[in-house]
């Protein structure tokens, strides 16, 4: 094989040197030769770009050596397929992982520039909605850090998740233009484009060996162009690839229209092709059955599978060994069409027999389920599916037929079971059920927290659990401590490193050594000062951007996540009104001052969620401006919650709101990010909250609310929200005040849909959990008054969060599912700067 990076390559110092003088020279070079600017006319963005290219030069050697190593050694590779990657800005993270943060900061200072300002300049790639996309980003970070051969496959949306503005208290969506000034971290590979077919029909033919074969005659063919982004490990030579696909028209496109002289028609049709990867669907935890979404899914999955096959061909490996070479993880059902696509490729394109192809396919895929919410389970109207993917539907019918035979053998005379497990839903209008296809086509099925994995087995996937108990496992989610501690909270990171060394960054369990210092008054003092300084930063941000003064000594109570009824931001709002009512009734009441902060986007078509944002802003308007409140409570809705802003928010919390209805939040990862930055959690026994509470200790967690079991029992016994309204005067007062128009300039109709949903249905049991929540909040307020006691609990939260590193999650996947060993990458020229771990800021 031809070496990609010959060992005798001339490495130019200006592109790799990491001393301050070289960095400065390289930066000014890039400003001149790439941005074509000189300092007098350069914008802040020009400086950012020049720095990004300077840093990129310094990681290319590792990236290419990693690629070369994988090509040569052909190791078992994890392919992480995800329709979303919510990456966050690259520059800061790459500086950290390269060990260049401080030296680059110094170099910039010597040029009169501020690194923090330049980092702020980066437009983050918002290629995801929330937790699911962010999980994919944390996992590719950990895969690289653990030196696992891996590739992330996804979609290069031209417009990621919308930017959120707030006008008159309502959410307004603005198009995300993340690519408008260019993206220095990606490399387009047009030479590696692949073709993807859509629509048309299938036909039967006999091949040269006299075998019966099927050929797909598509209606149209598109081109997928890969865009590669390096994903660096922390303190390793490994730099894996994130390969995102962009849709384009093939060169041959609509030749006929051109020939007929319909030039504009042809060009128009060409630009239509690019629509497939134009925009991210902005719904979190809900599914709509839109054709373009199915096109997106098939498009990126087909490109990715063809790409894996092509790589094996370069490596001279036979496709018989596909499952030995790749472990493909399906991040939710979004890429599940891959099961049928791999079958199609093996059967139709490479002439495999059915049994052989099925054996390979079912030893390749593993499926992660992310939700129990029925509205989020993907299913496609059969007619739509048939017109878009006719060959895949045939293959799915065959898979289903053989599968249902197996079910009949294991569970004879059980027609209901067959109907429930069928990949085709035939109960009314017919649908293709993607979760069923994923379960049948995968060798492993996992939930994302212990409770969630249990509930999957007991409810949503119960039939599949009875059929294939051996496939089921749990992998509790985790988050990367590099981005969410070291980069986002350098004050805390430095304090920790001063006490216990820097091993925790790669082995988060070492945080446990901090327990020794809980009894050290000096340490508690320093720890408190760190939190105070971070809160002050956020208070400054709020003053600058919202002209609201918040008291940095008040309890920072934060709920930041997508807005959803099951996450119950409105329960938090009910508590704020409760406190407000108490202050109105007794203006001298002695309460613990609190700042309630919210952040999160609502799906643009999700009316209730948008009304919840308006509700919070309306309460904020009244509370923040009522002289009776005397600044004891403040409410701020922080706009445009994204990864960049999340990095500011998690470290500043005293209290983390994790208050979903028990049984509804599969895991949560925000809960982990808060807790590892020293916030205490007020939460239900839901998702990973349960495991966080076990880890940090039940005394260091504020628990309230019904359990998942009690929720089900209550619903089964005929839950009536009016009972709670009628029997709880304080709750009644809150609802009545909201209904009266007090918070809506006298308009009693504004919040009526929300209040009606609570009083007449209350699917998420807010009224049932209200009293328990209020009482728990009182315990929080009391505890916060004893700042020494609070600080001890806060330190113990940090010290005991080791389990929730995404490194641990990836090790679980490796051990139980992927079984892909680490591969060391040798980079002869590379020198690691180990002295660069305590960030200056
Ligand atoms: C972690 C994260 C989430 C997920 O938060 P949950 O509280 O688990 O729902 C969503 N958005 C962003 C930007 C995040 O960083």
- Residues with Cβ within 8 Å of 138's Cβ and at least 6 positions away in sequence, in order, are 478, 479, 480, 483, 669, 806
Ordered structural domains, the chain, with CATH: 74-89+124-476+820-827 (3.40.50.2000), 507-804 (3.40.50.2000)
Residue nearest to atom 8 of ligand 1 (CA): 668
Answer yes or no: is pLDDT of 841 > 80. no
Which token pair is 660? 């979903």
DSSP state of 580: H
Confidence at residue 2, expressed as pLDDT on a 0 to 100 scale: 43
Residue nearest to atom 10 of ligand 1 (CA): 130
CB 813 within 8 A of CB 136: no
Confidence at residue 7, expressed as pLDDT on a 0 to 100 scale: 56
CB 61 within 8 A of CB 11: yes
Query: Which of 160, 163, 645, 646, when mutated, tests ligand 1's pocket best, judged by the most ligand atoms within 8 Å of its CB?
Result: 646
- Residues with Cβ within 8 Å of 238's Cβ and at least 6 positions away in sequence, in order, are 62, 66, 144, 145, 147, 148, 232, 823, 825
Reported as a pLDDT band with limits 50, 70 and 90, residue 3 is very low
CB 361 within 8 A of CB 400: no
> What is the spatial distance between Cα 787 and Cα 530, in angstroms, rounded to a whole number?
14
Query: Which of 131, 137, 160, 673, when mutated, tests ligand 1's pocket best, judged by the most ligand atoms within 8 Å of its CB?
Result: 131
646 lines ligand 1 (CB under 6 A): yes
Residue nearest to atom 4 of ligand 1 (CA): 131
Instruction: Give the other-Cβ count within 10 Å of 558's Cβ.
Output: 25
Residue nearest to atom 15 of ligand 1 (CA): 643
CB 825 within 8 A of CB 147: yes
Average of pLDDT values for 587-595? 97
Write down how long the chain is.
841
Q: Is 188 helix (H, G, I), strand (E, B) or coil?
A: strand
Confidence at residue 833, expressed as pLDDT on a 0 to 100 scale: 54
Q: What atom in ligand 1 is closest to the CA of residue 672?
A: 8
Confidence at residue 1, expressed as pLDDT on a 0 to 100 scale: 39
Which token pair is 330? 């399906």
- Residues with Cβ within 8 Å of 275's Cβ and at least 6 positions away in sequence, in order, are 247, 292
| pTM of the full structure | 0.97
Q: What atom in ligand 1 is closest to the CA of residue 667?
A: 8
643 lines ligand 1 (CB under 6 A): yes
Average of pLDDT values for 722-732? 98
Q: Ligand 1: distance of its center to the CA of 808 in Å? A: 19
> What is the spatial distance between Cα 580 and Cα 498, in angstroms, rounded to a whole number?
43
For the stretch 516-529, pLDDT in tens is 999 999 999 999 99
What is the phi-psi region of residue 564: left when phi exceeds 0, alpha when psi lies from -120 to 50, beta otherwise?
beta
Answer yes or no: is pLDDT of 332 > 70. yes
Q: Ligand 1: distance of its center to the CA of 608 in Å? A: 20
Q: What atom in ligand 1 is closest to the CA of residue 650?
A: 15
Average of pLDDT values for 568-572? 98
561 lines ligand 1 (CB under 6 A): yes
Task: State the burial class of residue 803 (Cβ atoms within 10 Å of its Cβ: 0-12, 13-18, 19+).
Answer: middle
Answer yes or no: is pLDDT of 5 > 70. no
600 lines ligand 1 (CB under 6 A): no
Q: What atom in ligand 1 is closest to the CA of residue 86?
A: 13
Q: Ligand 1: distance of its center to the CA of 641 in Å? A: 9
Residue nearest to atom 7 of ligand 1 (CA): 670
> What is the spatial distance between Cα 271 and Cα 151, in angstroms, rounded to a whole number?
29
> What is the spatial distance between Cα 156 and Cα 176, in angstroms, rounded to a whole number?
13
Active site residues: 370, 561-562, 567, 669, 673
Q: What atom in ligand 1 is closest to the CA of residue 669?
A: 8
Which token pair is 446? 């996992």
For the stretch 419-449, pLDDT in tens is 999 999 999 999 999 999 999 999 999 999 9
Residue 536, phi then psi, degrees to nearest 5: -60, -40
CB 447 within 8 A of CB 369: yes
């Amino acid at each position: 094989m031809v070496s990609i990076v010959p060992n005798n390559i001339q490495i130019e110092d200006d592109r790799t040197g990491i001393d301050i003088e070289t960095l400065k020279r390289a930066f000014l070079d890039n400003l001149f030769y790439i941005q074509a600017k000189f300092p007098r006319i350069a914008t802040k963005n020009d400086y950012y770009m020049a720095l990004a290219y300077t840093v990129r030069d310094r990681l290319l050697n590792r990236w290419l050596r990693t690629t070369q190593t994988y090509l040569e050694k052909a190791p078992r590779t994890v392919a992480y397929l995800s329709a979303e990657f919510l990456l966050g800005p690259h520059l800061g993270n790459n500086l950290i992982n390269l060990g260049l943060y401080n030296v680059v900061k110094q170099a910039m200072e010597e040029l009169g520039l501020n690194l923090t300002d330049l980092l702020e300049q980066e437009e983050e790639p918002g290629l995801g909605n929330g937790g699911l996309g962010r999980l994919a980003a944390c996992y590719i970070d950990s895969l690289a850090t653990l030196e696992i051969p891996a590739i992330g496959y996804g979609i290069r949306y031209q417009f990621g998740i919308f930017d959120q503005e707030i006008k008159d208290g309502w959410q307004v969506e603005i198009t995300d233009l993340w690519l408008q000034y260019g993206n220095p971290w990606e490399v387009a590979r047009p030479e590696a484009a692949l073709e993807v077919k859509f629509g048309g029909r299938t036909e039967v033919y006999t091949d040269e060996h006299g075998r019966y074969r099927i050929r797909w005659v598509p209606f149209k063919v598109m081109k997928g162009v890969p865009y590669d982004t390096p994903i660096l490990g922390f303190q390793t030579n490994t730099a894996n690839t994130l390969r995102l696909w962009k849709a384009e028209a093939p060169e041959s496109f609509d030749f006929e229209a051109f020939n007929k002289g319909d030039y504009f028609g042809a060009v128009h049709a060409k630009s239509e092709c690019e629509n497939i990867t134009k925009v991210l669907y902005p719904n979190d935890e809900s599914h709509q059955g839109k054709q373009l979404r199915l096109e997106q899914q098939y498009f990126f999955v087909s490109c990715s599978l063809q790409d894996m096959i092509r790589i094996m061909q370069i490596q001279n490996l036979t496709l018989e060994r596909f499952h030995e070479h790749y472990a493909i993880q399906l991040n939710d059902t979004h890429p599940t069409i891959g099961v049928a696509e791999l079958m199609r490729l093996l059967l139709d394109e490479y002439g495999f027999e059915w049994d052989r192809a099925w054996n390979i396919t079912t030893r390749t895929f593993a499926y992660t389920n992310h939700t129990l919410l029925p509205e989020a389970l993907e299913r496609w109207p059969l007619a739509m599916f048939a017109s878009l993917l006719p060959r895949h539907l045939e293959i799915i019918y065959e898979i289903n037929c053989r599968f249902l035979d197996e079910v009949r053998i294991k569970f004879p005379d059980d027609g209901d079971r067959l109907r429930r497990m069928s990949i085709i839903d035939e109960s009314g209008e017919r649908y293709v059920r993607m979760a069923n296809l994923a379960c049948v086509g995968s060798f492993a099925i996992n939930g994302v927290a212990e409770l969630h994995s249990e509930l999957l087995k007991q409810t949503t996937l119960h039939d599949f659990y009875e059929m294939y108990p051996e496939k089921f496992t749990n992998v509790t989610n985790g988050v990367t401590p590099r981005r969410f501690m070291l980069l986002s909270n350098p004050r805390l990171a430095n304090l920790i490193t001063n006490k216990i060394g820097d091993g925790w960054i790669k082995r988060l369990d070492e945080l446990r050594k901090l327990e020794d210092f809980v009894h050290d008054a000096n340490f508690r003092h320093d720890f408190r000062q760190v939190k105070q300084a971070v809160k002050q930063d956020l208070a400054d941000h709020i003053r600058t951007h919202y002209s609201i003064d918040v008291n940095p000594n008040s309890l920072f109570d934060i709920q930041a996540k997508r807005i959803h009824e099951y996450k119950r931001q409105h329960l938090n709002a009910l508590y704020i009104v409760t406190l407000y009512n108490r202050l109105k009734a007794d203006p001298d009441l002695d309460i613990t001052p609190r700042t309630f902060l919210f952040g999160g986007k609502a799906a643009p078509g999700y009316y209730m969620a948008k009304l919840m944002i308006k509700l919070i802003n309306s309460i904020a308007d009244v509370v923040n401006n009522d002289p009776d409140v005397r600044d004891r409570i403040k409410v701020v809705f922080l706009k445009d919650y994204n990864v960049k802003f999340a990095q500011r928010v998690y470290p500043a919390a005293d209290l983390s709101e994790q208050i979903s209805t028990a049984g509804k939040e599969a895991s949560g990862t925000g809960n982990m990010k808060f807790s590892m930055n020293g916030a205490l959690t007020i939460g239900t026994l839901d998702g990973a909250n349960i495991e966080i509470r076990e880890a940090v200790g039940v005394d260091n967690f504020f628990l309230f609310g019904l359990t998942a079991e009690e929720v089900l029992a209550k619903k089964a016994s005929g839950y009536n929200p009016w009972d709670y309204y009628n029997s709880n005067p304080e709750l009644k007062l809150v609802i009545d005040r909201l209904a009266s128009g007090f918070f809506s300039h006298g308009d009693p109709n504004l919040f009526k849909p929300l209040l009606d949903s609570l009083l007449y249905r209350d699917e998420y049991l807010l009224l049932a959990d209200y009293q328990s929540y209020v009482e728990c909040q009182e315990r929080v307020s009391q505890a916060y008054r004893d700042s020494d006691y609070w600080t001890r609990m806060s330190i113990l939260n940090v010290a005991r969060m080791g389990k929730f590193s995404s490194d641990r999650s990836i090790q679980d996947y490796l051990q139980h599912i992927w079984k892909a060993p680490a591969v060391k990458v040798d980079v002869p020229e590379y020198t690691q700067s180990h002295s660069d771990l305590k960030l200056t800021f």
